[in-house]
Each structure stands twice: as C-alpha cells, then as structure tokens.
Structure 1
Amino acid sequence: MAQGLERGMAQGLEKGHREGHREGQQDKAAEIARNLKAGGIFPDAIAQFTGLTPEEIARL
C-alpha cells in the first residue's frame, strides 16, 4: 500500500510539473504576442510565430 501511495504521489507531482510548465509556456507566448502586437505585427504573423490562435491574440 505504501508503494502505491508513493507512486501516486510521484505521478501527481509529475503531472503538476507538466501542467505548470505548459502554463508557463502559454504565458510566455502571450507576452511575446502582446509585444509583437504593440509593435504593429499582423495577427496572422503573430499566430504563426507564437502558436496562439487569432482569437487569443485579439483578446490580448
């Protein structure tokens, strides 16, 4: 039982780490997109460079 608990905790920590990393990447992409948008770059180009959708860019 202790091994199962340890394995579950390790899996939970790994999942949390992956989700946190993904959120950090999304935050950075949004920051870059805001800067590009402020610099007058077209939304289609921003989407290509950041992986964000045109809708996400419009909300920035």
Structure 2
Amino acid sequence: GWTMEQYEHQYRQAFAEAAKVADPTWRAGKPIPAGALDGITRESAESGRKSVDIKL
C-alpha cells in the first residue's frame, strides 16, 4: 500500500499538471482555472499518468 505522503504527492502533481494544461501561466498559489480538475479521476491520479483528460 501507499503512505499518505505518497497519495498526497500523486494528487498534488495531478492537480498541478491539470492546472497548467488549462492555463500554461498557472503557478502554485494562483487560483486553479474553473473546470481544470474535472477530468482527474482517482485512477488517473494514482497511476501517475502524465496526460489528464481536461473538460473545459
């Protein structure tokens, strides 16, 4: 199994990648664009896939 720290890292990375796809100028600390996280699933975040299905 994974530790909480490992889960946190995977989800944080998935969220940041999705935000950057929606807005390439996005940086940590800025609001995440509306709809940017809609395509993230548990499976995609936990698999560490680089591509995220964004539905804007």
Which bracket does the TM-score occupy, shorter chain normalised? 0.3 to 0.5
Name the TM-score, length of structure 2 as normaliser: 0.42
Q: Which has the higher helix share?
A: 1
Mark the structure with the bigger radius of gyration. Answer: 1
Query: Higher RCO, 1 or 2 (CA under 8 Å, sep at least 6)?
Result: 2
Name the TM-score, length of structure 1 as normaliser: 0.39
